[in-house]
Structures are given as structure tokens and as C-alpha cells.
Amino acid sequence: MSMLLKVERFLRQSAMPPTKFGRLAVNDPRLVEDMRRGREPRERTVARIEAAIATLADQARSGAAAPISALR
């Protein structure tokens, strides 16, 4: 599955705005829009995106709100 599809699925499930996700994941509010327009994130960025999805999904399941620094 492509990274964009993973991100889109997470955004739908979490009802999170794409700009907020990009800012939390990689400090780039344009991340998702750029990916929608064809941007291919580098390997390190992909790792950060995957970690952010995992962390945010865990937080949503537990109902906890962890600090943003937990994503870094």
C-alpha cells in the first residue's frame, strides 16, 4: 500500500485535518497536499509518517492526548 493511501486512510478514520497531520508528523502542514500532487517522501520522512500514524492511532484508541514531542 502506498504511503499516501495509508495517510488518507488514517485521516478518514481519525477525522484529522491533513494540515494538522502534516504538522504533527513532520512539521509540514503542506505534506498531505503535496503528496496528493505527486510528492514522494524520502525514506526518513516515510519513517516519521509511519511513526506518527502509529502513535496517533494508539492515542486515539486509549483516549489519551500525548504531547506532540512524543512523535519526535
Of 23 and 70, more confident: 23
Distance between the two ends of the chain, CA-based, in angstroms? Answer: 24
Residue 21: pLDDT above 60? Answer: yes
Residue 65: pLDDT above 90? Answer: no
Determine the angle formed by the axes of helices 18-26 and 43-62, rounding to 10 degrees: 110
| Per-residue pLDDT band at 61 (split at 50, 70, 90) | confident
Model's pTM, two decimal places? 0.84
d(CA 54, CA 33): 20
Contacts of 53 (CB under 8 A, 6+ apart): 6, 7, 10, 25
What whole-number percentage of the chain has pLDDT above 90?
Answer: 78
